[in-house]
Amino acid sequence: MYSLGELAETLGVHLDGDPEVRVTGLSTLALAGPQQLSFLSNSKYLAQLERTHAAAVILRPEQAGQCPVACLLSDNPYLTFARATALFAGEARPPAGVHPSAVVAFDASIHGEAAVGPNAVIESGATLGAGVIVGANVTIGADCHVGAGTRLHPGVVLGRGVRLGEHCTIHSNAVLGADGFGFAPSASGWQKIHQLGGVRIGDRVEVGACTTIDRGALEDTVVEDGAIIDNLVQIAHNCHIGKNTAIAGCTGLAGSTIIGANCTLAGGVGVVGHVEICDNVHITGMTMVTKSITEPGSYSSGTPMSSTRDWKRSAVRFAQLDSIQKRLAELEKRQPK
């Protein structure tokens, strides 16, 4: 619980209201009660602002006049709101130390301020930095390194030799460091290419639940500082994800894909292997990226949704597009000039 005065000071914003009022949590403008803080970042919610029962609202100075309650004035209310969520985050920090049910190899090195949860397994030669939190039933393979302040939620698996930077968050059942999908055809079937590279993750990276990041074939698979990756994303061997790039759920990257910095891939995108996407590219949802992208901007593929009846008509014609174009060219040829 915080007073509005404490909040203003912690968030570095100006308070217009009673600093003694106490706030127990955050909520939306529509649902917030008199002990909750809310925010306005999108002006389409102005009508809700005027009716809010929140204790206070984070908003831009020019909107303060329309606010019926106390204001926390910010030039970037969404960012100030994001910072405020950290103050009310519900997840308790487990006490430092290794739970007696965890199995830790004798030659693993665990910082005295790290916390290792029940039934976690830490294999030979792994090192955990200060403030690392390892959830229940996590497995950390041999020779992994987990940087200071990084949290592994329950069920995460790190294969051997995975290197995680500092202050990362890896969500439950994500798998970092499984073998890349590399096989050579032979007369007797597929010959496995043993994956000798590793996985290297920078600082402040977030990896979603059930996301998979494979180890490289010869060199490492790399995710740079500040990248954020959602749930159920597949990152194949030898991909390289640039700094602060965001990848939404159900996206799949084939092997050796290189993605620049500050890109955003919406959900369900697929990228073929061995292509390169430059910095500052946005890819819309479910796009199939089949070639390199060398210019910043927004890219798309797919067809729009319609009723299945209408869609079937268009879909039939799609298969006739080449003949439609030829018929059109034929008509054009016959036109008088």
- 6 vs 22: CA distance, rounded Å: 9
Residue type, 179: D
> 145 an active-site residue?
no
- 72 vs 61: CA distance, rounded Å: 8
Two tokens at 270?
């697929």
Near a second copy in 181-240, by CB under 8 A: 181-186, 189-196, 204, 206, 208-212, 214, 217-219, 225-226, 228, 230-232, 234, 236
1 in contact with a second copy (CB under 8 A): no
Near a second copy in 67-106, by CB under 8 A: 76, 78-79, 81-83, 85-86, 88-92, 99, 101, 103
- From residue 23 to residue 52, what is the string marking binding to a second copy with x (rule CB under 8 A)? --xxxx--x---------------------
66 in contact with a second copy (CB under 8 A): no
How many residues in the shown chain lie near a second copy by CB under 8 A?
136
Kindly tell me which residue out of 52, 139, 150, 221 binds a second copy, with binding defined by CB under 8 A.
Answer: 139
313 in contact with a second copy (CB under 8 A): yes
Kindly tell me which residue out of 126, 250, 258, 259 binds a second copy, with binding defined by CB under 8 A.
Answer: 250
Name residues whose C-beta falls within 8 Å of residue 126's C-beta, 6 or more positions apart in sequence.
Answer: 105, 108, 109, 140, 141, 142, 143, 144, 145, 146
Nearer to a second copy, 6 or 88 (CB): 88
Secondary structure class of 265 (helix, strand, coil)? strand
CA 43 to chain centre: 26
Two tokens at 32?
């917030």
Nearer to a second copy, 114 or 199 (CB): 199
Nearer to a second copy, 18 or 31 (CB): 31
- 57 vs 68: CA distance, rounded Å: 9
If phi > 0 it is left, if psi is from -120 to 50 it is alpha, else beta; for residue 103 that is: beta
Kindly tell me which residue out of 254, 259, 263, 265 binds a second copy, with binding defined by CB under 8 A.
Answer: 254
Kindly tell me which residue out of 18, 50, 107, 310 binds a second copy, with binding defined by CB under 8 A.
Answer: 310
CB of 107 to a second copy, least distance (A): 13
- Judged by CB under 8 A, the stretch of 3-11, 16-24, 66-74, 266-274 that binds a second copy is 266-274
- 325 vs 243: CA distance, rounded Å: 44
Kindly tell me which residue out of 66, 244, 276, 279 binds a second copy, with binding defined by CB under 8 A.
Answer: 244
- 171 vs 160: CA distance, rounded Å: 18
Catalytic residue (choose from 145, 171, 237, 240): 237
Name residues whose C-beta falls within 8 Å of residue 36's C-beta, 6 or more positions apart in sequence.
Answer: 23, 24, 25, 26, 27, 54, 55
Residues marked as catalytic: 237
